[in-house]
Amino acid sequence: MKQTLCIANQKGGVGKTTTSVHLAVGLARKGERVLLIDLDAQSNASSVFSESSSKNGKDSFLLFSEKVPIRELITPTRIPGLSLLPASSKLSQIDVLLSGKMDGFFVLKEALETVTNDFDWVVIDCPPSLSLITMNAFVAATGLIVPLQISKFSLDGIEAILEAKNHTVKRFNPDLKILGALLTLFQQRTTMSQTVVPMIEEHLRLFESKIPPSVAVEEAHLLNQSLYEYQPKNKTTKAYQQFTDEVYSLGG
C-alpha cells in the first residue's frame, strides 16, 4: 500500500466529502487500486455510489461495533479499480461504543492491516468532528489532508487539527504526516483570499491546486455521480484532477 490518506476538518461544509470522492476516483482513473472509506454518518460519499451503498446492513458501523472483517464489508463500485466501505447513520453511536476501550483507537488500523496487499491507496472521509472515529482514521493513516475555505472559522479550526495530529503522532502513530491543506470554493481575486492565504501558510503547507466553486458539484451529487462522469471538462473537475496529480506524486 502506498498511502492511507484521511481527509479531515472538524468544520462541516468545506468540501471534505467532495474532495474524498474525487481524490479516490481520480486515483482509480490512473489505474490504481483504491479503497474509499466513508466514516461520516451522513453517508454523503457513499451516496455518490448508490449501487454500492450499504446493503444487508454491511457497512463501516459493523467494523467498529462487531469487528466484522473489513474484507466482508468492502464492495466494488462502477468505477474500475475503486472499492467502497460504505457508511451508516449508526456511526454516530461509535464514540459511546468505543469509549474507554483499550483498543478503541486502533480498530481501523488493525482492519486495514488485513487488506494491505489489496489496495494501492486508501482514502478516508472523516466526519466533521475530532471524534473517536476521526482519531481512528488518524491512527490508521500515513497522510492527512485538510480541506479549507477562506474564512476566519477555518483559521480558528487549524489549531485544533494540528493539536489532534500532534497528539496522535506522540501517542499512537509516529508515521502520520500532514500532506497539506486544500483550498476549496476558492476565489483568487477577493480581498479575503489575499488576506487569509498567507495566514494559513503560517501553519500549513498549501497544495498548489485550488478548487473553484461550481454549481456542477451539487448537480453531480444530486445525480449520484462524480464530476468526472457529469462534467469532465468543468473547471472544478480539472482542478480536482490537478490536485490528484499532486497527491499521486507524493505516493510510493
Banded pLDDT at 52 (limits 50, 70, 90)? low
Domain that holds residue 128: 3-251
Which has more pLDDT, 189 or 168? 168
Sheet holding 82-85, edge to edge: 75-76, 82-85, 34-38, 121-125, 3-7, 143-148, 177-183, 206-210
Residue 70: per-residue pLDDT: 97
Task: Report the CATH number at residue 202.
Answer: 3.40.50.300
Look up cell 481527509; give the residue. Answer: 7
Count up the domains in the chain and report the number: 1
pLDDT at 123: 98
pLDDT confidence of residue 103: 83
Structure confidence at residue 139 as a pLDDT band (50, 70, 90): very high
* pLDDT value at residue 55: 60
44-72: average pLDDT: 87
The reported pLDDT for the residue numbered 11 is 82
Task: State the pLDDT confidence band at 53, using cuts at 50, 70 and 90.
Answer: low
Q: For the residues 148-160, what does the mean pLDDT come to?
A: 79
List, in order, residues 6 or more apart from 44 with CB less than 8 Å away: 17, 38, 125, 221
Q: Which pLDDT value is given to residue 105? A: 93
Span 72-106, pLDDT tens digits: 999 999 999 999 999 999 999 998 888 878 788 99
User: pLDDT tens-digit profile of 196-252?
Assistant: 888 889 999 999 999 999 999 999 999 999 999 999 999 999 999 999 999 999 975
Confidence of residue 21 (pLDDT cuts 50, 70, 90): very high
Overall average pLDDT of the 11-27 stretch: 93
Give 23 or 100, the one with higher predicted confidence: 23
First to last CA, the chain: 8
Reported as a pLDDT band with limits 50, 70 and 90, residue 150 is confident
Diameter of the chain by CA atoms? 50
Contact at 8 Å (CB) between 212 and 187? yes
Look up cell 464514540; give the residue. 95
pLDDT > 70 in the chain, percent: 96
Q: CA 53, 99, 133, 118 torsion: positive or negative? A: negative
Q: The C-alpha cell of 15 is what?
A: 468540501
